[in-house]
A and B are shown apart, each in its own frame.
Chain A
């Protein structure tokens, strides 16, 4: 593929895909919660940018609505809620010790390669640019999971969860020019409800274990104690 020969839209999508992938890696290696939330908001902003760009270039006005929804939910509401939570719990000065950071980053890199491998059969039916964009969105989904596994704070789990949604959204916009409007509204509604529920949960977890460290949630298992 020769980048120079592709049109402006494809070039922009490719750079945005790269940036979205980069933010996922930044989140993965982040040990301070406030910075993690900031990078997450940044990823949401890149997603908003992608959506508006797609709306403009493809002349598809309904994508402006989903861009506005992304901006409101992922860039403003959820980061605001998480930030408030972290400040209230007074855990923003804690530096999480990530166990074997190098391994996690290497794992992330191999997940990216794996995404390309999984989606490779698609290349026969589409442009290489599309393969790149789809593979990056799959790897954002997988990196979100890795983030949840490697971080032990409930806040980081929420960020991972929402960044998985970001990856899915990116795939939907780039590969299929957005889902049908009714589906997109439904997904946005689900994300909103999920965010509110997470807020409620923080309250409950805090009052039951007096911390947001999910390692302390370990009462239920199959092993006798």
Chain B
């Protein structure tokens, strides 16, 4: 359990360090160190869970089980690689005068603040604290979205703040209703602890829990970016600094989905009807299709990939909604490969925008001729996210399709159609960007592409063969969520 405290304490120390640090010091590098140490702590935690199973801290405030531990490691990993990318990127933004040193300091402080909020969402056993941390993640990132202080970025941040704030308030109402239902069967002090609720799920009042789940799905769904609550997402992703888009897409959306799935586990234990599943399937499929269609009309490269995030989050929500062991396994795998691929893509997109000096798709051309590494990185990343074999996204999407055909065959054509539309939508924009003629005077920039290579390598590996311990882990998490073993 000590490992879990370390995971929370390291980013906390990071916040304090950057808040008082001298803004002339090499903050980018120090940020990398903080995230690296945190990744080590999460690996330590993972080994503990691997050997001893679910860990519940003595005061029951924290719980680490197979479901959240892999998300914790993923969060730390993406946090680390994004910080490696962000150090030279932000230094470049500082050099060209888009940012002052003071705002750079704010950026690093809030980066650690965001990481802390993410770890707290994942490790806490208290559903109330989960809400507080989720709101904390919004508050930490809202000033980062408006970091450039352009009118567009301020508008995006205001929209993000208001929509997510109001949305997540619904989740608090759901949590209060859940607490109310729990108060009727037991004492108040433990009644918001997930582990206690899960044991007593049978006794909770199903009617109240159904209403509570609707509120929670809408609340956390705003953060997942479910249509029609997604409006903030493309704006926040396109106007904030690119490393922020990478962690928002790769981590925040996953963790919001995690919160929904945790609550779904309670509701399923109580109601024995699939009401929660149907709601998630409906919202998920709608987001998937709308996200795929909107890919076609994007003009801004970061907006393009944020709609791709909406589409993929929709698919995961849909898969968790289907329930069964196969669909759950697929959704867990998809969460992993999507955050790895999407953060890699945002890294290359960041460099692309710096090379071209703009985010407008029609003005970015000839990437491979200007800087082959970035061009190929973007192309391979796009292939991976569009679900091409042999990448991991293909495996997980194929499993989702398989589960759909198994449980709801009449929905399978819609899923296939969505995948096709999304593929066309991505490629009609990316193909001229990477191939096309190079405009006059376009020069390469200093880029660190190791994060991209590592991420895409992992996604490729997961597509070819899932290593034994990871497969074991996914199976354990699947058993926890769906109650039966996959395959």
A residues sitting closer than 8 Å to B (CB atoms) are 118-119, 121-122, 124-125, 134, 137-138, 141, 144-145, 148, 154, 157, 161, 164-165, 168, 171-172, 175-177, 179-180, 182-183, 186-187, 189-190, 193-194, 197, 200-201, 204-205, 208-209, 214, 217-220, 222, 224
A–B Cβ pairs within 8 angstroms, 18 of them: A122-B211, A124-B207, A179-B176, A179-B192, A180-B191, A182-B126, A183-B131, A186-B129, A186-B132, A190-B132, A190-B135, A201-B157, A204-B149, A220-B152, A220-B156, A220-B235, A220-B239, A224-B299
B155 with A190: CB separation less than 8 A? no
B208 with A179: CB separation less than 8 A? no
A208 with B208: CB separation less than 8 A? no
Residue in B158, B169, B179, B184 whose beta carbon sits within 8 Å of that of A214 in the complex: B158
Q: A197-B143, A205-B154 are in contact. Are A176 and B207 (CB under 8 A)?
A: no
- Judged by a CB distance under 8 angstroms, whether B51 is at the interface is no
A204 with B166: CB separation less than 8 A? no
- Judged by a CB distance under 8 angstroms, whether B414 is at the interface is no
The contact string, 1 if C-beta is below 8 Å from chain A, for chain B 191-206, is 1100000000000010
- Number of B residues, CB within 8 Å of A: 51
A180 with B126: CB separation less than 8 A? yes
Nearest neighbor of B294 in chain A, beta-carbon distance: A222
The contact string, 1 if C-beta is below 8 Å from chain A, for chain B 154-189, is 111111011001100110110011011001100011
Question: Within 8 Å CB of A165, what residues of B?
Answer: 169
Query: Interface centre among A122, A137, A183, A189, by most B CB within 10 Å?
Result: A183
B211 with A176: CB separation less than 8 A? no
Question: Within 8 Å CB of A138, what residues of B?
Answer: 173
Q: Which 5 A-B pairs have the closest CB atoms?
A: A183-B128, A186-B132, A121-B207, A217-B155, A208-B151
Question: Within 8 Å CB of B184, what residues of A?
Answer: 125
Q: How far is B165's CA from A180's CA once the two chains are assembled, in angstroms? A: 22
- Judged by a CB distance under 8 angstroms, whether B146 is at the interface is yes
- Judged by a CB distance under 8 angstroms, whether B136 is at the interface is yes
- Judged by a CB distance under 8 angstroms, whether B52 is at the interface is no
The dominant DSSP class at the A interface is helix
The dominant DSSP class at the B interface is helix
Nearest neighbor of A158 in chain B, beta-carbon distance: B162
Beyond A180-B191, A190-B135, 11 extra complex contacts between A and B, CB < 8 Å: A122-B207, A164-B169, A180-B188, A201-B158, A201-B161, A217-B159, A218-B155, A219-B152, A220-B156, A220-B238, A222-B297
Q: A182-B126, A190-B135 are in contact. Are A121 and B211 (CB under 8 A)?
A: yes
Question: Within 8 Å CB of A154, what residues of B?
Answer: 158
Within 8 A of A (CB), among B380-416: none
CB of B320 to closest CB in A, whole Å: 25
Q: How far is B133's CA from A172's CA once the two chains are assembled, in angstroms? A: 18
B211 with A118: CB separation less than 8 A? yes
A148 with B161: CB separation less than 8 A? no
Nearest neighbor of A218 in chain B, beta-carbon distance: B155
Q: A161-B165, A168-B169, A222-B297 are in contact. Are A208 and B132 (CB under 8 A)?
A: no
The contact string, 1 if C-beta is below 8 Å from chain A, for chain B 304-347, is 00000000000000000000000000000000000000000000
Residue in B149, B176, B180, B210 whose beta carbon sits within 8 Å of that of A168 in the complex: B176
CB of A166 to closest CB in B, whole Å: 11
- Judged by a CB distance under 8 angstroms, whether B260 is at the interface is no
CB of A40 to closest CB in B, whole Å: 16
- Judged by a CB distance under 8 angstroms, whether B142 is at the interface is yes
- Judged by a CB distance under 8 angstroms, whether B1 is at the interface is no
Q: A161-B165, A175-B180, A217-B155 are in contact. Are A125 and B205 (CB under 8 A)?
A: yes
Question: Within 8 Å CB of A190, what residues of B?
Answer: 132, 135-136, 139
CB of B230 to closest CB in A, whole Å: 11
Q: How far is B126's CA from A144's CA once the two chains are assembled, in angstroms? A: 27
Nearest neighbor of A184 in chain B, beta-carbon distance: B128
Nearest neighbor of A123 in chain B, beta-carbon distance: B207
Residue in B131, B149, B173 whose beta carbon sits within 8 Å of that of A141 in the complex: B173
Q: A161-B165, A179-B192, A208-B154 are in contact. Are A186 and B128 (CB under 8 A)?
A: yes
Nearest neighbor of A181 in chain B, beta-carbon distance: B189
Question: Within 8 Å CB of B158, what residues of A?
Answer: 154, 201, 205, 214, 217
Nearest neighbor of B151 in chain A, beta-carbon distance: A208
Q: How far is B239's CA from A222's CA once the two chains are assembled, in angstroms? A: 14
Q: How far is B175's CA from A172's CA once the two chains are assembled, in angstroms? A: 10
Question: Within 8 Å CB of A209, what residues of B?
Answer: 151
Q: How far is B128's CA from A182's CA once the two chains are assembled, in angstroms? A: 9
Q: How far is B139's CA from A180's CA once the two chains are assembled, in angstroms? A: 22
B132 with A204: CB separation less than 8 A? no
Q: A200-B143, A220-B152 are in contact. Are A179 and B180 (CB under 8 A)?
A: no
Nearest neighbor of B193 in chain A, beta-carbon distance: A180
Q: A124-B207, A205-B158 are in contact. Are A145 and B132 (CB under 8 A)?
A: no
Nearest neighbor of A145 in chain B, beta-carbon distance: B166
Q: How far is B191's CA from A161's CA once the two chains are assembled, in angstroms? A: 27
Question: Within 8 Å CB of B189, what residues of A?
Answer: 180
Q: A125-B184, A157-B162 are in contact. Are A168 and B173 (CB under 8 A)?
A: yes
CB of B240 to closest CB in A, whole Å: 12
Question: Within 8 Å CB of A186, what residues of B?
Answer: 128-129, 132-133
